[in-house]
Amino acid sequence: MLPVAIFRHSPTEGPGYFAIFLEQQGIPWKLIAIDEDEEIPSTCDGFSGLCFMGGPMSVNDPLPWIEPVCALIRDAVAREIPVIGHCLGGQLMSKALGGTVTPNPTKEIGWGSASIEDTAIARDWLGNFAGKTGTVFQWHGETFSIPAGATRLLTNAFCANQMFALGPHLGMQCHVEMTPEMIATWCEQWADEAVTVDEPPGVQAPETMQQEIPGRLPVMRQLSEQLYSVWIRGLRR
């Protein structure tokens, strides 16, 4: 089977549980470290799917790799090769598919909840989670619009567009790939993020985030496994 290409945009925002899940399913993957100036493929030939991780930058920044990544996403969508995006990755997907990325009304940092839509497409992606509330992890200050033809899957009070699906493609504003190690590392960067926060309701302190790992992470694992299980159905084999 061809590998899934996983694009990393920041050294501290690796594939986390997404890569663990692929390995558990016997699916190969290849890391492409954009943060180390690795070359971005011009086409998705050679890959069964594409995954884009998070990062501290904005898709609106004048970075040389933004447009090549967007072109690669469009190539995959045109050929129905599944794409999945986590946070920045979801924003890249929205931008590539004609959406916009703008400042969110407030930052979201830490554990939170999101309401899961109860539609046919949401039920296909989320099964028994549809119509309920799910546990997610957040770390963002911007938000994407839902691209034309896509369907919103998750929403919450702080950020309306938490997740969208378009055929076999899944874009997420939230993080469902977190591991305890990733959370600990990100908490070290908390002061840099929270210093500009004007409205704290959507922001947790590092101590709270880590204290809630035992109760929150296993619940989010169920959600991530549901989403990833549906996503891998479309992989080119």
- Per-residue pLDDT of 168-206, as tens digits, reads 999 999 999 999 999 999 999 887 766 555 546 789 999
CATH number of the domain within which 194 lies: 3.40.50.880
Please tell me the predicted confidence (pLDDT) of residue 193: 66
Residue 109 predicted with pLDDT over 50: yes
- In this prediction the pTM is 0.96
In whole angstroms, give the CA distance from residue 105 to residue 198.
Answer: 10
pLDDT tens-digit profile of 1-56? 999 999 999 999 999 999 999 999 999 999 999 999 999 999 999 999 999 999 99
CA 171 – CA 149 distance, rounded (Å): 13
Q: Indicate the number of domains in the chain.
A: 1
**Residue 76 structure tokens:** 């995959």
| Start-to-end C-alpha separation, the chain | 5
* Nearest residue to 169 (alpha-carbon basis) of 142, 185, 146, 140: 146
d(Cα 6, Cα 15) in Å, to the nearest integer? 7
CA 131 to chain centre: 21
DSSP state of 175: B
pLDDT at 191: 73
Please report the pLDDT score of residue 40 as a whole number: 97
Q: What is the mean pLDDT of residues 61-89?
A: 98
> What distance in Å separates the CA atoms of residue 185 and residue 179, rounded to the nearest whole number?
10
The beta-strand segments (E) located in 12-57 are 29-33, 49-52
What is the pLDDT, as a whole number, of residue 199? 47
Could you tell me where the beta strands, DSSP code E, fall in the chain? 4-8, 29-33, 49-52, 83-86, 101-116, 133-144, 151-155, 163-166, 169-172
Tokens coding 146: 């839902």
Domain of 37 in residue numbering reads as 4-234
CA 210 to CA 13: how far, in whole Å?
Answer: 17
- H/E stretch holding 190 reads helix 190-194
Cβ contacts of residue 99 below 8 Å, gap of 6+? 144, 145, 146, 147, 148
